[in-house]
Structure 1
Amino acid sequence: MRVILPRLRSVQTFLDFYSQFNPSPLSIKQFIDFGRNACEQKSFIFLRKELPVRLANIMKEIALLPEVLLTTNSCSQVSQWYAKSFEDIIQFEKSEPTPKILQNFCNTLVMIRNRHSDVVQTMAQGVLEMKETYGDSVEATMETSIQYFLDRLYMSRISIRMLINQHTMLFGQLNEDKGRHIGCLDPTCDISAVVRDAYENSRFLCDQYYLCSPELKVTEHNEIDNLLPINTCYVPSHLYHILFELFKNSMRAVVEHHDHDKSDQLPPVRVLISRGHEDICIKMSDEGGGIPRSSVDHLFKYMYSTAPQPSKSDYYTVPLAGYGYGLPISRLYARYLHGDLILLSTEGFGTDAVIYLKALSDEANELLPIFNKTSSKFYKATIPTGDWSNQVLRHINAPRVLRRRMQKQ
């Protein structure tokens, strides 16, 4: 992306300028190809333009948030963090990539990453503050706007951290031989190994609280070349985050559904890893009693999941305990590189969670939020737009509309 910078007078002018540009999504293949022939100067030149674009795009959306959320202390804090980080990055706009500048740039990226480490928790707290202040007066359309925004904010955050991590791990002071890893990417990520790692850590938490835990059964199927274990080029930390959250949910459901006081024969959590031509699928199946179909969609809603405070049955000891953001953000991690996460529940029996990953690295492109007229109109819409539920409502209302037309005739 080539950007010609005019004479700028203020940070706001910078913000208006950079928000005109769309982010440049990268694929896993591009990350890997660059990392294998890493050039710090090229990375610096790309990031000093790309990071301000990504920051400016999401900052414009922060300004469009409903006043009831934007004015909370927590949301104001997040807004200030983004403004400060944007200001820090644009200082390098016209800098020559000398060794000193490159070192300062890398240090600045580390500082930005640390500054934004609590963005998810702080925004979650902002939503709680809003609900405590306004309660049931928060309109459904406002909830839809906040859901839309939080998905985009957290996806933007994932993408920015990915760029920062790649640069700092390849060129930072702590850069060291990490074996086959290229930055935070593993070109031959053993999926079953990540599954077992996430399981063992989740099992430790489950054992701590319930004094028991279900076993793990892993099956692999490779439709392409029959080679096992199944390897792929991916970000192991992203996959671990998704699996860890799913295992925690499954284990708790299994133990509580089968009465953990008499749990000698707990049914196992089963994981199937399958490689096809387009996707790699990881299906996690439990016998934890499932959940009603009407509740499945709520599990991915921030406004819904932030309502209750942590209960005694919450054995989570991770930073997001009590906010219920685990599943929504896990789905964003899966979707970030054009995968997905879906839940299929059989009420009374159990739940299947399916993680989809792109099988080909050149098809695993970043999915990035873009600020434009369409996205800005969404925050002003009185009725949710571009949503599948509109089709359902249209179908439900069809007989009513038809009767009205017949009456007019």
Structure 2
Amino acid sequence: MLFTRRCLGLFGSKIAKKLEHYSQFQPSSLTIQQYLDFGRNGTAQTSFMFLKKELLVRLANIMQEINLLPPKLLIMPSAKLVSEWYRQSFEELLNFEHADPSFDMITKFNDQLQIILKRHSHVVETMAEGLIELKESDGVDIASERGIQYFLDRFYLNRISIRMLQNQHLVVFGSVLPESPRHVGCIDPACDVESVVTDAFENARFLCDRYYLTSPSLKLHCFNSVSPDKRITVVAVPAHLYHIMFELFKNSMRATVEFHGVDEDLPPVEVLVVKGHEDLTIKIKDRGGGVSRTILERLFNYMYSTAPPPPRDGSQAPLAGYGYGLPLSRLYARYFLGDLFLVSMEGYGTDALIYLKALPVDASEVLPIFSTSSRRYMTMSTQVADWSHQLPTQGHRTPT
């Protein structure tokens, strides 16, 4: 009953019943192969019929979890704004709930998707501002922080999946142009991994040179164990891989320059790319001094950053100082059943390991599902300690 009242208060009675209805459905997890096949052989009508329900299901599942956030966070201006964006988008998509797939209706639907994409373009930064507002006003207790961390991983992964559905539909069946004629929507059937890696490195190096007036070089080695005489290619979303690599390169370059000094000969950032039968593995190795295990545990925490908080006047690059770079990069890796780990040796350097599925049939979406388990985890109070010391959390690996 309390949960229902909170839902009514946050999103209004008009859509509360629809939220309840659609949150009872599980999101449909798709593989990259399914995205690829449908992009090549599907129709705008079929895509419309699937999306008009699936988007409501994915939105409803995560909106029910928004209801479970600590009330102190939900009253923060930025968090309220994010909630309102989701309510508005859900309500607008309800207008197509029973619509037929006519040409005019699909055109209106595509226009609506463009509006929603634009509205949600700053969700990450705005929710981050909500956490800053909460910390500045009242602080965050341990139990709430654990629930918020759990929620944000699910919230941002849900956002990645929704944007994937929208962008794929708009590029294949709408007016949005693909980045390359070879692409099927957002997917490159033959993504050249080395090209994405070098592109991300050069762009990160440009930022490093501009800020520090120096930067480390790249030492890249690729090994294709499946076809040794060929370049490494996989079916992938290049934008996701680029996001991961760019963030990790920025971190490695910053650490390397600050550890060795701008006047020193900087050791290179070393990258090893290996394609196996099941996994594509990318290892980034730097000599940036590493971090202690205490800090390593915090690097995937949304409420922790090694950089100073960003200015409120927008004079700094988006996400700088929010501490969201690593946790979001890990989500992009995990979205299609990959992962990202860190191994650090304090006083020496850090290795980052990225795992992606080499086969598109194995690369399934990982989607949050609203359930009694997720509700219980988000709302449970502080637990009595069952260990003498806190054990390391997942998301990194420590050397043995």
With the length of structure 2 as denominator, give the TM-score of the two structures. 0.90
Give 2:252's aligned amino acid. S
Change (3 A) 1:345 1:16: same
How far apart in 2 are the matches of 1:275 and 1:50?
33
How far apart in 1 are the matches of 2:229 and 2:81?
50
- Secondary structure (helix, strand or coil) at the match of 2:363 reads coil
Question: How much has 1:395 moved relative to structure 2?
Answer: 9.0
- Secondary structure (helix, strand or coil) at the match of 1:305 reads coil
Number of the residue aligned with 1:60: 64
Give 1:50's aligned amino acid. E
Aligned pair partner of 1:81 in 64, 81, 85:
85
The question of whether the paired residues in 2 share the 8 Å contact of 1:38 and 1:170 is answered with: no
Number of the residue aligned with 1:348: 347
Give 1:44's aligned amino acid. F
The question of whether the paired residues in 1 share the 8 Å contact of 2:142 and 2:382 is answered with: no
Give 2:352's aligned amino acid. A
Question: How much has 1:225 moved relative to structure 2?
Answer: 2.2
1:71-94: CA deviation from partner (whole Å, max 9, x where unpaired): 101110000000000011111111
The answer to whether 1:32 aligns with 2:31 is no
Give 2:360's aligned amino acid. S
How far apart in 2 are the matches of 1:317 and 1:184?
28
How far apart in 1 are the matches of 2:218 and 2:259?
17
Which runs of structure 2 are paired with 1:233-248 in the superposition (5 Å)?
A: 233-248=235-250
The question of whether the paired residues in 1 share the 8 Å contact of 2:178 and 2:184 is answered with: no
Number of the residue aligned with 2:298: 298
Change (3 A) 1:177 1:353: closer
Question: How much has 1:310 moved relative to structure 2?
Answer: 4.0
1:306-345: CA deviation from partner (whole Å, max 9, x where unpaired): 995249xxxx953111211111100000000000011100
The question of whether the paired residues in 1 share the 8 Å contact of 2:307 and 2:321 is answered with: no
1:33-88: CA deviation from partner (whole Å, max 9, x where unpaired): 10111300000000001000000000000011001101101110000000000011
Question: How much has 1:175 moved relative to structure 2?
Answer: 3.9
How far apart in 1 are the matches of 2:30 and 2:79?
29
Max Rg structure? 1
Identity percentage over the alignment?
Answer: 54
- Secondary structure (helix, strand or coil) at the match of 2:329 reads helix
- Secondary structure (helix, strand or coil) at the match of 2:249 reads helix
**Deviation beyond 3 Å, 4+ runs, structure 1:** 174-178, 389-396
1:374-401: CA deviation from partner (whole Å, max 9, x where unpaired): 100112212469xxx96785999xxxxx
Give 1:229's aligned amino acid. R
- Secondary structure (helix, strand or coil) at the match of 1:299 reads coil
The question of whether the paired residues in 2 share the 8 Å contact of 1:334 and 1:355 is answered with: yes
How far apart in 2 are the matches of 1:180 and 1:99?
26
Number of the residue aligned with 1:205: 207
The question of whether the paired residues in 2 share the 8 Å contact of 1:144 and 1:384 is answered with: no
Question: How much has 1:176 moved relative to structure 2?
Answer: 6.2
Number of the residue aligned with 1:146: 148
Number of the residue aligned with 1:18: 22
How far apart in 1 are the matches of 2:175 and 2:294?
51
Give 1:275's aligned amino acid. K
Number of the residue aligned with 1:404: none
- Secondary structure (helix, strand or coil) at the match of 1:116 reads helix
Which runs of structure 2 are paired with 1:58-207 in the superposition (5 Å)?
A: 58-135=62-139, 138-175=140-177, 178-207=180-209
1:243-290: CA deviation from partner (whole Å, max 9, x where unpaired): 000000100111111111x23x21100100001122110000000111
Number of the residue aligned with 2:268: 268
- Secondary structure (helix, strand or coil) at the match of 2:101 reads coil
The question of whether the paired residues in 1 share the 8 Å contact of 2:191 and 2:235 is answered with: yes
Change (3 A) 1:36 1:220: same
Give 1:290's aligned amino acid. G
Change (3 A) 1:307 1:19: farther
Number of the residue aligned with 1:281: 281
How far apart in 2 are the matches of 1:395 and 1:175?
48
Number of the residue aligned with 2:398: none
Change (3 A) 1:298 1:394: closer
The question of whether the paired residues in 2 share the 8 Å contact of 1:334 and 1:357 is answered with: yes
1:167-211: CA deviation from partner (whole Å, max 9, x where unpaired): 011111234693110000001000110000000100101110111
With the length of structure 1 as denominator, give the TM-score of the two structures. 0.88
How far apart in 2 are the matches of 1:209 and 1:371?
43
The question of whether the paired residues in 1 share the 8 Å contact of 2:62 and 2:158 is answered with: yes
The question of whether the paired residues in 2 share the 8 Å contact of 1:190 and 1:232 is answered with: yes
How far apart in 2 are the matches of 1:80 and 1:252?
37
Q: More deviation in 167-176 or 344-353?
A: 167-176
Question: How much has 1:152 moved relative to structure 2?
Answer: 0.7
Q: Structure 1 unaligned runs (5+)? A: 1-8, 397-409
The question of whether the paired residues in 2 share the 8 Å contact of 1:78 and 1:123 is answered with: yes
Q: Structure 2 unaligned runs (5+)? A: 1-12, 393-400
